[in-house]
Amino acid sequence: MFSLENQIVLITGASSGIGAACAKLFAAAGAKLILAARRFDRLQQLVEELNKNFSTEIYSLQLDVREIAAVESAISQLPPPWSDIDILINNAGLSRGLDKFHEASIQDWEEMIDTNIKGLLYLTRFVVPGMVSRDRGHVVNIGSIAGHQTYPNGNVYCGTKAAVKAITEGLKQDLLGTSIRVTSVDPGMVETEFSEVRFHGDAERAKKVYQGVTPLTPDDVADVILFCVTRPAHVNINEVILMPVDQASVTLVNRKQ
Ligand code: NDP
Ligand code: 8X3
């Protein structure tokens, strides 16, 4: 098994949901964490909690992944040894709106494309050259079942996650001949702040998404990510699709009354 002890792990979108769950699990496994998100107060709360429970070292970054200059300077200004990132978890992402294509907000589209595609590209572009020069590293992209199946009103969100799938495959191909691993972890329904963000803060509507269902938890997804990055160094898990037992496809969900 590949040990995470003292591995430097950069997690984007660590202030909530799957990213925060990864931070806890990776801290418990002995990794050194670089945690990034826009909400610095939320990151600080998490860091305090982690410091109480683990002896891990943590570097916090207030970062909007949509801002190319900010991403470039954040990565290039990391002091050693933080600059030698071993594992990049491209988790920051969001959906905005659930509307018919011809009625959807173009601003929502821009936000999803800028975050889910361009943000992931910027992080990867600035981190991977260091991995190549060290001939060591692992990039984990958080995709979605929405990248495998498009659902009504999911149009652009599904498009961004289909792009993540293609980008992950392309990165794997282009890194052939190096020791760097590339994985896409593609969950179905996970109860996080995701739906509240999608519905622009409408908590009631968000709650209904998970009504009568036992969804995945952020810890379930973090557990799968941990599995992927701790395989022996010659093993690459290319793609994992996971969903709740109560879900059979993006639209086929078993709801108890
Ligand atoms: P949350 O809303 O709970 O977490 C999203 C995280 O992304 C937050 O930490 C948020 O931090 C961060 N983020 C959003 N925009 C930016 C940005 N511009 N710059 C930096 N960080 C940003 O949702 P999840 O944990 O569910 O989502 C994590 C990933 O999982 C996303 O890529 C999502 O698409 C994917 N996913 C989620 C599923 C689900 O059902 N929940 C299923 C499949 C995939 P902050 O706002 O502080 O910047
Ligand atoms: C999030 C899962 O089904 O809401 O990527 O698109 S879904």
Confidence class for position 1, pLDDT limits 50, 70, 90: confident
Using DSSP's 3-state secondary structure scheme, residue 85 falls into coil
Kind and range of the H or E run holding 170: helix 155-174
Which residues line the pocket of ligand 1, CB cutoff 6 A? Answer: 12-19, 37-39, 42, 63-66, 91-94, 115, 119, 142, 144, 187, 189-190, 192-194, 197, 218
pTM for the model stands at 0.98
101 has pLDDT over 80: yes
**What is the interface pTM, i.e. ipTM, of the complex?**
0.99
Kind and range of the H or E run holding 130: helix 120-134
Position 163 scores a pLDDT of: 99
Q: Could you read off the pLDDT of 102-158 as tens digits, one per residue?
A: 999 999 999 999 999 999 999 999 999 999 999 999 999 999 999 999 999 999 999
Kind and range of the H or E run holding 32: strand 32-37
Q: Which residues are catalytic?
A: 157
Would you state the structure tokens that stand for residue 127, as one six-digit string? 């981190």
Q: Could you read off the pLDDT of 177-228 as tens digits, one per residue?
A: 999 999 999 999 999 999 999 999 999 999 999 999 999 999 999 999 999 9
Kind and range of the H or E run holding 46: helix 40-53
Would you state the structure tokens that stand for residue 141, as one six-digit string? 């992209």
Using DSSP's 3-state secondary structure scheme, residue 188 falls into coil
Average pLDDT, the chain: 98
Domains of the chain: 8-242 (3.40.50.720)
- Asked if residues 114 and 156 have their Cβ atoms less than 8 Å apart, the reply is no
Calpha distance 31→178 (Å, rounded): 23
144 C-alpha to ligand 2 centroid (Å): 6
C-alpha dist (Å) from residue 16 to 23, 36, 38, 131, 249: 10, 11, 11, 27, 25
* DSSP code, position 190: B
Phi, psi at 253, each rounded to 5°: -130, 135
- Asked if residues 138 and 183 have their Cβ atoms less than 8 Å apart, the reply is yes
